[in-house]
Structure 1
Amino acid sequence: MSRLLLPVLCVLVLAGCANVPLESQPQVVPGERQGPGSGDVVPDPQPNIDPLSLVRAFVGATLKPGQNYAAARAYMDEQSRVNWRPSRSLTIIQNTFGTVYDTNPKPDPNTQIVNVRGSELGTLDQNSAFVPGSDSAFLQLKVRKQATGQWRIVDPPPDLYATESDFSENYTPVPVSFYSDSGTFVPDRRYVVAKPQSGLPGKVMDLLVSGPSPSLAGAVKNLLGEPVEIDTNVKNLDDGTLVVPLTGVTGVTDDVRKLMAAQIVLSLQYVTNARIRILADGAPLVPNHPDWRANELPSYSVSVSPGIEQLGMATVGGRIRSLSDGNPVPGPAGNGGYDVVSAAQSLDGKRLAVVERSGGGVRLRIGDVGHELPPVDIGGNTLSRPTWRSGTGEVWTVVDQYSVGRMVVGPTGQWTPLGVNATDLVQQGGITELRFARDGARVAAVIKGQLWVASVVGSGDSVSLREPRHLQPRDLEDVLDVDWDAQDNLVVVTKSPSQPVVRVTMDGQRMDAFNSSNLTPTVHGVTVAPGRPIVVADANGLWIASVLGEVWRPHGHTMKDADPFYPG
C-alpha cells in the first residue's frame, strides 16, 4: 500500500476573526520540508494564517529537522516557545485529518480552541517501539491573536502528533537483536530519527543497552544489560572504522563475548556499512578479534530454519501429501490410516504432529514421519493446526479456542501435556490459529478474524503468553490464516477479495498487499519460510509467489482443498 502521499498545503489568507471558516475539510497534512543545509533556520508561519491552518501546519512541523522541535515552536507565542516541554511519546495519525473550532462559547474573541480529529495508527513509546492503536485521535489546542495581529498557539500540550507520512520520512526502523534460548537472535523492531545518519549507530547502541521493548521483555536475554555500559561516544575513525567502546564486561566468558559481539553487529548492520571495532575497557571485546563485519558471523538462524531438502507438505482430503511431488507421504498419515484435519512438521523434518477426527471430536498424534503416530493426551471438540516451538521440540495447539496446550517430549520419547498461561491472549476472544515464529520467542494468533502477536515468556513447567498486540486493527479483518515470512514479518490471508494476501510487520506498523491476480476467493491457507516461495491455497488450488507485486503462479503440484505447511 502506498505510504507516502504528495503533501498539499492549502492556506487561507484571512483579514480577521469574523471571516475564519468554521472547520477545515480533512486533507493531507502540510508536508513542507527544509532542504539540505538549512540547519535550524526556521521560517515564520505565513502572514495572516488562520487558526485552523496554523494548527495543521503545526502538526506538519512536529518532525521537521531542527533542534528541540524548533520548526514546531515557530507556531507558538513567545512564552510557549520557551516553556514547552514535549514528551518523548509520539502519536502517529493518518495522513488525512480535520481541524475544527470547539463549539463551546468563548468570552474572548481573540482566542480560539481548535480540535484536531483523525484516526490514530499507533504510538511510539518511551522505548522507541511502535504500539498499534485504533482510537480516534483527538488533540485540543488554544490559539490566540497576538499584538501583531497574528494567530499563535498558546499553552501547547506535551503530546506530540505526527502523520504517517511524516513519521516514515523522518524515522527509520531498526530490528535490534536480543538473544534467545533457541540459540538465535530475535529482532526487536524499533524506530530512530533518521538524520543525521552519522548519529544512528549511537542511537542503536543506546537501545541495545537499555534492553528489549515491553513486547519482548522476558522472552529474550539482553547480553548487554547491566553492568555493561557504553564507555564513551560511539564514533567513526578517519579510516571509516566504527568504534563501539564498552565497559563493565570484566569476568564475562569468551563464548558470551562472542555472542555480545554478534548482538552488536547484527543490530548495527542496518545503520552502517563500516567495519565495527568493539572494545571493552580499551581492549578488544573478543581477544584477537577487534574488528567485525556482518558476513563474518556464524549463521544463528540455522537452528530455526527448515532444511533446504524440506519442501513442505499439505493436508488434502484427510491425508498428507508432499509438496515436492504431490504424492502421499509414507505411513498412515498419507495412506488414509488417519482422518487428518491438520498437521505440522518439525523443523528438522523428522516428526509429524497430526490432528485427526476421532469419536465426534479431534485428538492429537505425534511421531516420526512415515511411521505410526501415537496419540497423545490432548483432545477436544476442536484443535488448531499444531505448531512446533524451535529450541524445545514442543508442540502447541489451541483446545476449543480458549485453552493453549503444549506437548513436551521426555528423554524416553514420551510426550507429556503441560499448560500455557494464555489468559492475556484468550481474553481477546477465541483463538482459531496459532503459529510460532521460528525463533520461538513470539506467537501469531488469529482471534475473531483479527491478527494478534504475543511474546512467549518462561520455560520448563511455566510458560506464559504476554503483551498481546492487535496488529492493523483498522485495516485488517476477516483473517483466516497466518505464517511467519521472517522473524519480523508475517504473511496473512483474509476473506477480502481485494486484499486476500498481505504482509504485516511484526509490530503492525506497516501492511503491504500482495498482487491479487489469478487468485480466486476465498484464499484460506498460507505457508512461508525463509528462502522459500510463499504458498497460498484458494478455491481452485495452490499458488506461489516470492515478492510483493509478483503475479501468483500455479504450484507445480497444485491440489484443490489443500492446506499447505512448511516445517515449523
Structure 2
Amino acid sequence: MTTRRVLAWLLVAVCALSACGGIPDEVRVHRVGADQGTGESPVSYRPAGPRQNATPDQVVRGYLDAMLAYPVSSGTAEEFLHPQAEPWDPTAGVVVYRAASVEEARQVAIGRDIGLEVVVRLEEQARLDRTGHYEPSVRTRTVSFVLRRASGQWRIEVAPPGTFVTDDFFADYYRPFDLYFFDPSGSRVVADPVHLPLGDQVATALVTNLVAGPRDQDAGTLRSFVPDAARLRGSVPVAADGLADIVIDGLADVSSDTRDRVSAQLVWTLRQLPEVRTLRIRPPGPVVRAESGDLEPVGGWGVFGPSRAWAGPFALLGGAVVSLADGAPEVLEQRLVQGGDVESFTVAPGAESLAAVTSGGSELVLGPVSGQGRRRVPGSGLLPPVWDASGRVWAVDRADGRTRVRLIGAEDVTLALAGWPRLDPLSFALSRDQARYSLVARAGDRTQVLVGRVLSDAQGRVTGLSVPRPLPSGTPLVTASFTSPRSVSFAGSGHVVVAATSVAGEQQVFTARVDGSSVTGGRSSDGPTLVDVDAQQVVADPVTGRLFVRAGDGTVWQTDGAAAWTRIDVDGVRALAPTG
C-alpha cells in the first residue's frame, strides 16, 4: 500500500469520529504480511463495535465501517445486529461503492414493535458474486436497514445480504485470481477470473470456490471434474516448505481420468500463489504416508494448458513473410501471394502453413508455406485471420450488413451469432485456450473493445460465440481510459492488450482484464510509455509477456512490459501476426 493510501485511510478513520459512534478514539494500525506479488504490505484495521447509546444512523455507519476490517472478518459487523435479527449471509456477494450518505430515519412497524428504517444511498461501482466474479455496475443504489431496540440499544433487525466495501478498500485489499475449469471437451483448462481479499485464507477461498463449480450461466462453456458431492474439509494450510494440504471428501470412487483432471484444476488454480510449491490432495483422515509420489508439483499438468511454443511475431515486409522472433528479420516465405497484394496474414502453429487476406479484404488464401495446394476463400472486408491450435483459420468479415465468423478447415463452419448487435468489426483476437474472443468494433458512432466466450460441445467442436460485452473504460474503478481503439490481442486468457488513443490524444497500448475490472496503460500506469508513433496494430506474446507494435510509418516497437519500448531494426512493415 502506498504512503498516500495509508494517510488517506487514517484520515478517513479520524474524520469519521464525529459522524460515527462505531469508530474508536484511536486507530490501531500495524503492518501485516506482505501482499504477494506486489511488494506492498496491507494495513490491518480493527473497527470498533457499537457504542453505548449510539443513534440509529451511527449504528448503520458503524456497521458499514465494520465491513472494512482487515484481515477480513464479519465478527465486528455481527455485533451491530439484533439478537433476533433475520439471518445475514456475509458471503452472498460484495458491493463496491464510492460514497455513501445516510438519510434520516423513519418509523416502521415490526410486528407489535415500532422500529426505525435507515436508508443509505450508495454510489455503486461494481459487484462481486458469491465466488468473486466481478461485474461493473455504476449506479446510485439505495439500501434499507431496519433497526429496533435490544436491551435499550438500537440494533439492526434486517440487513441486506452480502457485504459493502469502499472502492479504496477494494483497490487495497482485493486482488484478481483465476479459477481453472475445463472446456466442455475436457481437453484443456480454462481460466475463470475472480477477485478475492488478501490474507492467509486465499488458498482456502480459491479451493472452496473451485469445488463449488462454475456458475450456472457458464455451464455451457466451463466444465468441472470435481464431483457435485465433493466437499473441502477445513481450510487449506500452506506449510513453510510450500506444501498445500487439501482434504476433499467425495473423490474416493472417481475414475483415474477424473482424478487427474481434478488434480489439474487444483494445480493450475493454486500455482498463482507464490508460496505454494506442491499440493497434497487427500481424503479425510490422518496422513498415512507422505512420499514424494503423493505430491503434485505446481508446475505439473501442463498437458492441459496451451502450448508453450510461440515462434512469432511475424511481419509482412514487402511481399515476404519474415520472423522477428530474434529481433532480426528471417524470411519464412518470399512471396506470400503470387500476383496480388496482401494486407494481413497469420501463421499456423509450427510455422508450416500461412493464411493471408488480399487487399480490400475480398479473398482469404491459405495453405502450406511451400505454396503447394493453397486454397482461396471469398470474403467481404475480411479482418486479419487467426489460426487456432486446432488447425482452423478464423475468418471474420461482414455479410448482408452483419458480422460473419467462419471457421475454415477440414469442414468449413459459419458460427451462429444469435443476439449479436450490429457491429462493424475492425480487429479480432482469439485466446490461446480458445475459450474467449475479443473484437474492436464500431457500433453506431462509438468504437469499442468487446469480449465474449467461444461456445463448444463435448467433442471440442465450436458451436457459436456468446454475445460480446464491451470492456468499460473511464469508469471510476478503472485507472486508465482510452478512446478510438484500433487493434486488440490476447496477452493470456484473462487479459487483452489494446492499441488505442489515450485521454491526452496519444496512441498508446493498454492492458485490460476480460472481466472489465481494470484497464492500465498510457502515462497513467507505472509501465513503459510508448512514444507517439501512431500505433496501428498490437501483438502480444502470451508466453514471455512481450508486446509488439506496428507504427504508422512501418516501424516495429517492442517491450517486455517492464523495460522501455525499443525499436526493432526493420522498416516498411505492412502487417504483424502472431503464431496461432
TM-score > 0.5, shorter chain as reference: yes
Partner of 2:486: 480
Q: How does 1:143-542 map to 2 (within 5 A)?
A: 155-158=158-161, 160-180=163-183, 181=185, 183-195=187-199, 197=200, 199-213=201-215, 216-230=218-232, 234-235=236-237, 241-249=243-251, 252-271=254-273, 272-273=275-276, 275-280=278-283, 289-295=293-299, 297-300=300-303, 303-307=306-310, 310-315=311-316, 320-323=321-324, 325-326=328-329, 329-333=332-336, 337-357=339-359, 362-371=362-371, 374-380=374-380, 382-390=381-389, 392-400=390-398, 402-410=402-410, 416-424=411-419, 426-427=420-421, 429-448=423-442, 449-459=447-457, 463-466=463-466, 468-473=468-473, 474=475, 475-496=481-502, 497=505, 500-514=508-522, 515=527, 517-520=529-532, 522-529=534-541, 530-531=543-544, 533-540=546-553, 541-542=555-556
- Equivalent in the alignment of 2:112: none
Alignment length (residue pairs): 529
Q: 1:301 to 1:41 in 2, by over 3 A?
A: closer
| Superposed counterparts of 1:136-147, under 5 Å | 136-141=139-144
TM-score normalized by the length of structure 1: 0.77
CA distance in 2 between partners of 1:379 and 1:286 (Å): 60
C-alpha offsets along residues 456-513 of structure 1, whole Å, 9 cap, x if unaligned? 1214666122364433343454222111112322211112235721112232222221
Q: Could you give the per-residue CA deviations for residues 397-454 of structure 1, whole angstroms, max 9, x where no partner exists?
A: 22218334333423xxxxx321212224x32744332211111111122233322222
C-alpha contact 1:418 1:461 (8 A) present in aligned 2: no
Q: Which runs of structure 2 are paired with 1:44-63 in the superposition (5 Å)?
A: 44=49, 58-63=63-68
Counterpart AA for 2:382: L
Partner Cα separation in structure 2 for residue 487 and residue 403 of structure 1: 23
| Correspondence 1:12-161 to 2 at 5 A | 13=18, 35=30, 42-44=47-49, 58-65=63-70, 69-73=74-78, 76=80, 78=82, 82-83=85-86, 85-86=88-89, 88-93=91-96, 96-97=98-99, 99=101, 101=103, 115-120=120-125, 122-131=126-135, 133-141=136-144, 155-158=158-161, 160-161=163-164
> 2:455·2:465 contact (CA, 8 Å) conserved in 1?
yes
1:441 counterpart letter in structure 2? A
Alignment TM-score, normalising by the size of structure 2: 0.75
Amino acid at match of 1:118: E
Q: Name the aligned partner's letter for residue 453 of structure 1.
A: V
Gaps of 5+ in 2: 21-25, 33-42, 109-114, 476-480
Query: Is the CA contact 1:254–1:286 (under 8 Å) kept in the aligned structure 2?
Result: no
Shift in Å, 1:559: 3.6
Q: Does 1:543 align with 2:542?
A: no
Aligned pair in 2 of structure 1 residues 288, 114: CA closer, same or farther (>3 Å)? closer
Distance 1:33 1:224, change over 3 A: farther
User: Matches of 1:70 and 1:506 in 2, distance apart?
Assistant: 34
Contact 2:454 2:462 in 1 (8 A): no
How big is the shift at 1:544?
A: 0.8
What residue identity is the alignment partner of 1:420?
L
User: In 2 relative to 1, CA 32–146 (structure 1 residues): closer, same or farther, beyond 3 Å?
Assistant: farther
> Cα distance 1:429–1:56, how it changes in 2: closer, same or farther (>3 A)?
farther
- Matched to 2:565, the amino acid is W
In the other structure, the counterpart of 2:111 is none
Distance (Å, rounded) in 2 between the aligned partners of 1:445 and 1:433: 6
Q: Percent identical across equivalent pairs?
A: 20
Task: Report deviation, 1:354.
Answer: 1.2
Report the residue type matching 1:511 in the other structure: V
- Residue by residue over 1:366-425, the C-alpha shift from the partner in whole angstroms, topping out at 9 and shown as x without a partner, is 111241573444412x122211222x2121122218334333423xxxxx321212224x
